[in-house]
Structure 1
Amino acid sequence: MMSTAFMIVGLLISFSTWYDHQTSEAIVSGMIIQIVGAILYGIGKMLSKSTTILVSPLLNVLLITLIPASVLSNLLVGQSLAPYPTEKNAVLVFTILILAVLGVSYGVIRRRNINKKQFKC
């Protein structure tokens, strides 16, 4: 839960700082906090013997993917850097990117969970 909280806080900081200053540093500051959250999740996974439900890893993937997908979608439609889509075309590209990442992540996480269950038997 702590890693997810870090990722949400990083996202909010990036959005609010961007809204005030509109600099690339605003985007990076939020992403650094999100990266700390991802590192915490990895450490927690290594230290914990319990398995997580499918929703938690997918939520973390979604949260850490939002800013890079937004930046990429804005660049692909010719807009400036921003931590959220700034134009209708960017929203479409953003949605496609997010759905692709979530689809691939779901498949990988589910396959990993199935393999763990088969290994235990």
Structure 2
Amino acid sequence: MNILIHFFTPAKITLEAYYQALAQADLGWHEGTNDPEPFIKYMLGIILKCYREFEERLIISEKSGKRSSSCDIVKTYVNGTIGTFTKRDTMENCPSLGSSSVESALKKLVEDGTIIRKGLGRASHYIRKDAIE
């Protein structure tokens, strides 16, 4: 099963990869010898990526529990994050929280030293403190 999952997952899911898969599937179309396999693999890769992201979000929800505070939910997300992230990233990965709850939680995490804020306003992004040490 893992071989199939790796096989179907495109390395880079971009508009360029989409058009490349479409072009490969269209080769020989006029002669009736085209092969839709590259496009099918691309689309299955997209579906798989969506399911993986959904599973990650469920794991965050399960770990945080129903009675967890917004700060606990955001902290669970942050602990599983590699590299920088934004408020928007946090909101997408913690869908049970509103904008003000995420903002408040990020502010608390900055104050307690769990994360570091870089930039201001819309250009601000965050990184775990232990990631830069």
- Normalised by the length of structure 1, the TM-score is 0.34
Say which one has the larger Rg.
2
Which one scores higher on RCO, CA 8 angstroms, separation ≥ 6? 1
TM-score, with structure 2 as normaliser: 0.32
